[in-house]
Structure 1
Amino acid sequence: MSKVKKAIIPAAGLGTRFLPATKTVPKEMLTIVDAPIILYVVEEAVKAGIEDIVLIAGRGKHAIEDFFDTSYELEDKLAKDGKEKLLERVTKIRDKANIISIRQKQAMGLGHAVLCGLPIIGKEPFAVLLGDEITMEANGEDSVTSQLVKSFEQTNVSTISVMKVGEKDVSKYGIAEVEEQRSGFFKVTSLIEKPKPEQTSSRWALPGRYVFDNAIMDILQNAKPTLNGEIQLTDSMKLLCQVKGLNAMTFTADRYDAGDKLGYLQANIELALKNPELNKDLKAYIQELVKRF
């Protein structure tokens, strides 16, 4: 039986304005093909055996909470709009997991958002999945969170996902400095939040999937604001390396930064190509479009 039964999904940032200026929606509620971004993330958590999912919701995020509530009005609207498959997906989540919402009263960084989940997490280990990052398993493999959970259960050491990035993208991410233990598996020696390329030789970035021993909560409770006046999760992870250890592993899943404009478009195109209802027509359109360039 899995030891990791709880997860935190920070969805605390300001909404992204992809829509007209008169309508602002949380970026986690923007649709990828036929479902909001947040549903893909919650489904990944459930597949990993998570039973209690804590949404850390900031200002203007009520739409996320409402989406997972039992609501006759929402269910009736989905049914009338012919979105029975989406309704079925949401119902399945409600049957398998408890969705709990906690308000982050101030936007004080990812570390602070994770700490907001302490009343529900208590003394247990837990996963963290960023609410605007989508990872889709490939080739029949386990999801990224499932892989991290398995690693944690085998080692009892907090484990995070990492991905290789180019020099120009180093400053966009938290970066892990590592020692390789075996192919695709590392011991983390240090972390740095959004460094300049010359500040670290590592190109192993954090794409937003973690499984933590509860010791991270003890560290976060004493954390102070640093970069941008925020409590950075990477600062506490750096200390965790020293006091309890921290592992990292690569993954083969497809990953989309759906909170970024280009990443959002890429996710829609690639997931639509995997959709049997859209694949043929979209592929034909893309092939025709390419001929124009």
Structure 2
Amino acid sequence: MKLVRYGEPGQEKPGLIDSAGTLRDLSAHVGDITGAVLSDAALERLRALDPASLPAVQGNPRFGPCVGQIGKMCCIGLNYSDHAAETGAQIPEHPILFMKATSAIVGPNDTVVMPRGSKATDWEIELGVVIGKTAKYVSEADALDHVAGYCIVNDVSERDFQNKLTGQWTKGKSCDTFGPTGPWLVTRDEVADPQNLAMALDVNGQRRQTGNTSTMIFNVRQIIAHLSSLFTLHPGDVIATGTPPGVGLGMKPQPVFLKAGDVMELTIEGLGQQRQTVKADD
């Protein structure tokens, strides 16, 4: 299934995309697409519905983040060997973890707003993993059983805030609008192998990032096992699993960053597409 949330910010309704690409309303069956409806049993009940029996949604409504009420967004840094190389960083011994504030999370096509003083806002396409079952001390072998599905995340980053302001990476990762998520949550039964998904990001029609999840340093199983050994992952939590090479920070001979009016377009195989226009904060 492809589960979505559509409507104006704060008023999103639950829906699904049927096999013909039609948006169908799920409001009669669930209140929202949150962790409460992402268990295997709950998803199976939704899967049993006849999509043709669900009301078709007219027009072209906005898509919100594909998961509502996200408890935490865990982000893995430097998780592609070629991305680590382009930034001059060493391969980490363990997954690098930082958190993105949930207030940064927006819809897949919402405007990305560069904060005041920003000179180094950058793009990062990432595979998002949505937890469906509580995970604590989970083994690698069992890790994927705790996944509800997958989505696209743009881990937008302000590099000066991230690297030059005293403190943690979170400063450059959590600015408002810096977490476009969606357009839909694709349930895990429709993703045969999360470690073999092609990824691409364009800025103003020019390809910047090309990659595949097969080149992750730590795969999805390893990430879930590691994080769940440190703290509990709850249904509805999202893990952004790192970005392939091609970020603005790593461009040669000098970095290239976003400016007002730029357009980012992101795709991950089987997970849809995002499109964001960039503006400066007032």
The verdict on a shared fold, with TM-score over 0.5 as the criterion, is no
TM range (shorter): under 0.3
Greater strand proportion: 2
Which TM-score applies when normalising by structure 1?
0.24
- Structure number, greater radius of gyration: 1
Greater helix proportion: 1
